[in-house]
Structure 1
């Protein structure tokens, strides 16, 4: 059963971008969900359905993913560009501000937006990412994103997904792996599963970066007044406990929860994650008007 509506919008450079829309169109508050590097709007379905009674929600496919246009310039696959795309969505919706929920790369985009366009962000939920990332986890992600090989069948797609991510989700059942794989792949006209993202998103991962470029602490320090909830997978190899401690020191008001027996990144459908998000969204500070005047 499809519980969402299709929503299309246009980026500042003319790409046709896609989002799933949940909840009532006249809801007073709007949430924008931003997925991880290789992921798309489908990942947020359980969370969106959970929240749809009280919020209007847009779960986006970033450019180069899902139903959104692929970019002919791979150098545009960058958090700064994605942040501009979210602003384009806000402008098309005639919204001054929204609550952001970002997983991994989506969390980085949320930090960029909160630091560079603070008036457009009411609050943020950051899922398993911080201003710095463990090199071990980055190398793991780079290994499977930069060396993606085609598969011939759904059983092969499921097996490959499980091989890459079994340590991140040790409690997954076969049905869990099936659903996760169906969110990562889509069928082509021959019924064969193909990755639901542009392989060129790997270009940025293959480009050497300076320490200054990979250090997001200056941006994080600019959002000290933002209502923020941070989630971490207990087994995460991307967001370390040391990084969390430093974030808490920089932002004492930040709420934090660790999701047990889960790596990078929590699905946000876990009972503890849903309870933490519900509690965070009940903050009276998140009730300020969002419409452009």
Structure 2
């Protein structure tokens, strides 16, 4: 897609990247935050499908895409990521933004609501909430295990199809190739490798979070009540349960839920149902 690169520097000097799409309109920009192993390209199908004139800014979280790999893996955590996003917003002088966060990007969005609530016009949480199902988390970590790479783009696409067939049962061979090209890069030696630092992958604890951690996440979610919220959930998600999604909408009071049929974690957001829900939501919260 046609867009403009944005380069900026984290508070401790790490070189970071984002990409801007669309005109620099007067209204709030729409800032897109991807999931654990994805990058800014994850939102290009959604942006193209929406066909809106708004300005979209899609971020490469540190350690992914064109953002620098962090020499200290301890910095791969959502609180640090949220600080990076705030640096970007300040550099671009964005006083008001909409946030669209997929999975990990949704957690970052929740943290940003505690940091800059007055600057956030609305939030879309894509298949994530205060409760993350452990079985789904284990599946994600297993599918994202470090790979030595592939000898061709075709081999990479076939590997992606094998690892992601459960959440995306309807994708075609052409879709899998596009998926691979969004999530991998070709190195100088011709090897096609996942486009993230392997150090972002950490073991999943044997035990689920304790009571204090669970309550803490719901308290974090409670901070979001000042902004309109759209919760998007894959019908077969193993990360965000239907029970948790319903509870989020009931507790928030200004939230709506869109369940995307036939997909798991996480909707790619170019599904017709996703595009319709996002377009309507952004239209209602344009100011």
Q: Same fold (TM over 0.5)?
A: yes
Which position in structure 2 is the counterpart of 1:291? Answer: none
Confirm or deny that 1:200 pairs with 2:190: no
Kindly state the Cα deviation for residue 204 of structure 1 after the two structures are TM-superposed: 7.0
Which position in structure 2 is the counterpart of 1:14? Answer: 13
Kindly state the Cα deviation for residue 116 of structure 1 after the two structures are TM-superposed: 3.2
Kindly state the Cα deviation for residue 53 of structure 1 after the two structures are TM-superposed: 4.0
Instruction: Quickly say closer, same or farther: Cα 1:148–1:191, change in 2 above 3 A.
Output: closer
SS of 1:99 mapped into structure 2: strand
Q: CA RMSD in A?
A: 1.9
Which position in structure 2 is the counterpart of 1:131? Answer: 130
Deviations, residues 238-261 of structure 1 (Å, cap 9, x unaligned): 110010121122113201100110
Confirm or deny that 1:168 pairs with 2:167: yes
Confirm or deny that 1:102 pairs with 2:134: no
Which position in structure 2 is the counterpart of 1:239? Answer: 240
Compute the TM-score of the two structures, normalised by the length of structure 1: 0.91
Compute the TM-score of the two structures, normalised by the length of structure 2: 0.93
Which position in structure 1 is the counterpart of 2:190? Answer: 191
Check the 8 A contact 1:66/1:196 in 2, yes or no.
yes
The runs of 5 or more residues in structure 2 that have no matched partner are none
Which position in structure 2 is the counterpart of 1:219? Answer: 220
Deviations, residues 60-118 of structure 1 (Å, cap 9, x unaligned): 10000000011111111111011101100110011222100011111111111113321
The runs of 5 or more residues in structure 1 that have no matched partner are 288-293
Kindly state the Cα deviation for residue 16 of structure 1 after the two structures are TM-superposed: 1.3
SS of 2:226 mapped into structure 1: coil
Kindly state the Cα deviation for residue 265 of structure 1 after the two structures are TM-superposed: 0.7
Aligned length: 285
Instruction: Quickly say closer, same or farther: Cα 1:151–1:205, change in 2 above 3 A.
Output: farther
CA distance in structure 2 between the aligned counterparts of 1:10 and 1:208, rounded to whole angstroms: 37
Check the 8 A contact 2:28/2:121 in 1, yes or no.
no
Kindly state the Cα deviation for residue 209 of structure 1 after the two structures are TM-superposed: 8.1
SS of 1:222 mapped into structure 2: helix
SS of 1:238 mapped into structure 2: coil
Check the 8 A contact 2:167/2:265 in 1, yes or no.
yes
Which position in structure 1 is the counterpart of 2:262? Answer: 261
CA distance in structure 2 between the aligned counterparts of 1:29 and 1:117, rounded to whole angstroms: 14
Runs of 4+ deviating beyond 6 Å: 206-209
